Structure 1
Amino acid sequence: MGNASSKKETDNMYTSEEIRFLEAAYRNASGGTLEKLTSDRLVEYWSQTIEPSLAENTVQFLFMPTKQHSMNLPLKRFGEPYYIMERGSIDMKMHFLLSSMQRTQNESFNIKELEHYIQSVIKSYLMLESTAKGSSIKEWQDLGFITTERSNCAFAKGLMRNIGKDLDHTMPNETLERWLHLTPQFLQLWREVFAQLYTRHGGSKRSHIKEVEISFLPQLCDAPHSSHYRPIMELPHVLYINAQLPREMRHKWRFLFSSKIHGESFSTMLGKVLDKGPTLFFIEDEDQYIFGGYAPESWALKPQFAGNDTSLLYTLSPAMRCFNSTGYNDHYQYLNLNQQTMPNGLGMGGQFDFWGLWLDCMFGEGQSVESCTTYGDYVQLSKRKQFKIRNMEVWAVGDLPVKDEEGGEVQKRSVLDGNLEDRAMLEIAGKQMHSDGLREPGMDD
């Protein structure tokens, strides 16, 4: 009937493989036929795979032109969300989003409705990953990483920060268009949800539409095997921070240090993080604020600042915020010990005694000041300027550095660096490293 002509129209929109799985997805949703698919049936079917509220929003969009939800949905119309997310312009995506959130065409949208929609997309992504073959999410969940309503809500609010600071109950649609342009992480998650929804129900492996591999949830490597381990973060925190990293660092997180496992020792922490490549620090303070920083270069003991402008500071709880480099100065990474005239500890951003993030070498105490010119839109990370560490973790990201772009070794390791933990302990104790002068030519200082 109606779907016969509809099928001819879809031939010009999709590849033959896409037509195959769209037809299969339609048949599965309608109960085995290409002739009858109503709104109630589609909501019920999709709610088994994605968040029910997202299923209802999407069905509202699909049936909006007719406003008769008991009518049969044509195949061409059925595939529109998939088409829009894969090939549609920003205008098409904005129309899809607005029509999904509101029943009538308005010149403005409700901020709360947008927040609820974003939350439903995040929840749907995590639902899909939890049942996807080959997904790394089970490894994270087995390690204790969960998703709570609080972290999901904070993630949604974090994604909405580009809308503006003064959020009214309603905002003009032009603001939504600008936000979509400025929030690629939401666009990627949104696209992934609908791609997986249609391909999974259509029996496709999804491989044909992954033109560029984007790591949302990184592979978990070197997971701790300890009953004492309790993660500081939740899965939405991991998703949020991973998207802020350089693309080439998003595929893998390597566990290095936890104060709950390895003890509250600065020297032990240094022994785990030195020479391990880019790292992420996660600190939970006595007020249960969670915050940290991304250091893009391997840590090394030296009296100078290191790092580059991909460095970040961030907060995760009670709110998710990310602070990028301003370029005002290059005070990204500082690590020094056993100095009488210079600070002893680890710092990121700001300047001596006025740090964006500071971890004292005595461990257990830190600092985050009210303002920091190294990072834009910065706010104090901890509740108190001088904070006490309740728990801390360090993760390395990307692959362990071995070679540079020319194929040479990044660092030639000396036998003198064989036990970095013991070396750090000696540095803290004030013992001079006389053997440093015995390094072979070409070895790192």
Structure 2
Amino acid sequence: MGNAQSPPTDNPRYVSATRAFTHKELEDLRSLFNNLAAQSQTNNKYISSSIFQSYFGLHGPLGERMFDLVTQERKDQRLTYEDLVLAKATYEKGTKDEIEEFIFRLLDVSGDNFVGRSDLETVIIAIFNDILCIKGSEDKSSSQQDVVDIFLNAANFSMHNEGGTQKTMSFEDFKSWCTHLPSMKKLLGSLLLPPDSGRPGSQIPKLLTSKAIDSNILLLRKEYAWHIGGALSYQDLEDWNLLYHSSVNGLSFNTFFGCISNHAGPTVLIIKDKEGYIYGGYASQPWERHADFYGDMKCYLFQLNPVASIFRPTGANNNLQWFAINFSSEDIPNGIGFGGRVNHMGLFLTANFDQGHTFSCSTFGSPCLSKTNRILPEVIECWGVNQDATQNKNDAVKGTILERFKEDRNMLKMVGLANSSE
């Protein structure tokens, strides 16, 4: 990291923090401070809470809590230049542990030194309403609270709060929650960037459908797309096209294959079963006929309702995607699936599209995705991820699927994971 000249100070933490920035970065921070301090009408001495919250697009309890942390909880309502440098050095340029600790403290919007369910609920509502600007539920059959609850349901509250009636979230609980909700962690780690800068974690894919399709029948709502996209690169979060919907195209495997066969990129498969559970998988490779598992380490499984979670490959085995059609051997079940092993997959639908199964799966470290192991699908839809042309060109240069997967396997062998089994 570069360095820059700063005014003399008696604060060794500030002196240390400046070393995390280049000279140009410190100049930009000084310019930002001067601009916001001028708007605060404080003779350029400090930034007020209202101007701070307005600039960063943080309002209500979340904005107040961020301002409190950035001003080192002095409660004097004055954000100095030193405060800004210290906060950004920790929150944006600190170690992984320092950044996670800052985010964990940010969730404590009540300021009582504990992160409870109500704290988390307040933060999630602020993210949807104020940051992502998803105003209320798109699905008229459910309220916004239903959507908030699926993200709350991914959290564990294991810590006993002395004097409190409810358990609170431990730091380990928080890290586990972030692992299953990568979009949440990305966004919570980028809130001191201006909203118009393309904050990591704020991208929601544009969902493209035929005008003739009633949006109310879609399983993939904006909140779900944001969640699923948390494990993807920025280039994969532009446009998603609806390729197949069972209510429109019929619950038919052959029709499904016909609808998706012309899409050469990744796809998002989503299932709603007759228990009301919604879940699916991200297929990084096109669906092509194989007699065995294939795919690469970009595949993952996800849950959408009643809990939101993402399960990425653990490296335990290479059983990632499954797509078998017109095989007569009982050892090669015809259908589509992800992970696990034959007849015991993380997610599998038969070629009749009338049933399937889901089991806990070491490929993705995922649990049974539904209420029971048996799947009786009610709605199936598939979205095509439109990738940037430059990215596709770069991927083509890297070689075949098998060659790219071989690179993944070699890396896993180095850490002793590649030969583990189910």
Instruction: Give the distance between the partners of 2:377 and 2:233, measured in 1 at CA.
Output: 28
Alpha-carbon displacement from aligned partner over 1:385-431 (angstroms, at most 9, x marks no partner) = 333322221112242886575659979xxxxxxxxxxxxxxxxxxxx
Instruction: Give the distance between the partners of 1:100 and 1:309, measured in 2 at CA.
Output: 32
Structure 1 match to 2:313: 325
Structure 1 match to 2:37: 26
Instruction: Give the distance between the partners of 2:245 and 2:45, measured in 1 at CA.
Output: 57
Tell me how far 1:97 sits from its aligned partner: 4.8
- AA matched with 1:220: K
More displaced 10-residue stretch of structure 1: 241-250 or 51-60: 241-250
The counterpart of 2:220, out of the listed 217, 222, 233, is 233
Structure 1 residues 77 and 64, CA gap change in structure 2 (3 angstroms):
closer
The counterpart of 2:127, out of the listed 105, 110, 122, is 122
Give the match's secondary structure for 1:346.
strand
Structure 2 match to 1:55: 63
Structure 1 residues 362 and 177, CA gap change in structure 2 (3 angstroms):
closer
Greater relative CO (CA pairs within 8 A, separation 6+): 1
Tell whether 2:121 aligns with 1:110.
no
Give the match's secondary structure for 1:272.
helix
Structure 1 residues 51 and 285, CA gap change in structure 2 (3 angstroms):
farther
Instruction: Give the distance between the partners of 1:193 and 1:317, measured in 2 at CA.
Output: 27
Structure 2 match to 1:298: 286
Provide the TM-score with structure 1 as the length reference: 0.66
- AA matched with 1:190: L
Structure 1 gaps, min length 5: 131-136, 198-204, 412-445
Bigger radius of gyration among the two: 1
Instruction: Give the distance between the partners of 2:294 and 2:82, measured in 1 at CA.
Output: 55
Instruction: Give the distance between the partners of 1:302 and 1:96, measured in 2 at CA.
Output: 44
Structure 2 gaps, min length 5: 1-6, 161-166, 402-422
Tell whether 2:63 aligns with 1:74.
no
Instruction: Name the count of aligned residue pairs.
Output: 370
Structure-to-structure mapping, 1:327-366, within 5 angstroms: 327-342=315-330, 343-363=333-353, 365-366=354-355
The answer to whether the 8 A contact 2:57-2:194 is kept is no
Structure 1 match to 2:26: 15
Tell me how far 1:100 sits from its aligned partner: 7.1
The answer to whether the 8 A contact 2:273-2:375 is kept is yes
Tell me how far 1:237 sits from its aligned partner: 1.9
Structure 1 match to 2:244: 257
- AA matched with 2:298: T
Instruction: Give the distance between the partners of 1:178 and 1:353, measured in 2 at CA.
Output: 29
Instruction: Give the distance between the partners of 1:362 and 1:177, measured in 2 at CA.
Output: 40
Structure 2 match to 1:151: 147
Provide the TM-score with structure 2 as the length reference: 0.69
Alpha-carbon displacement from aligned partner over 1:254-304 (angstroms, at most 9, x marks no partner) = 332122332322222111222522211011112221100122211112333
- AA matched with 2:260: V
The answer to whether the 8 A contact 1:275-1:300 is kept is no
Name the Cα RMSD after superposition: 4.4
Give the match's secondary structure for 2:338.
strand
More displaced 10-residue stretch of structure 1: 213-222 or 343-352: 213-222
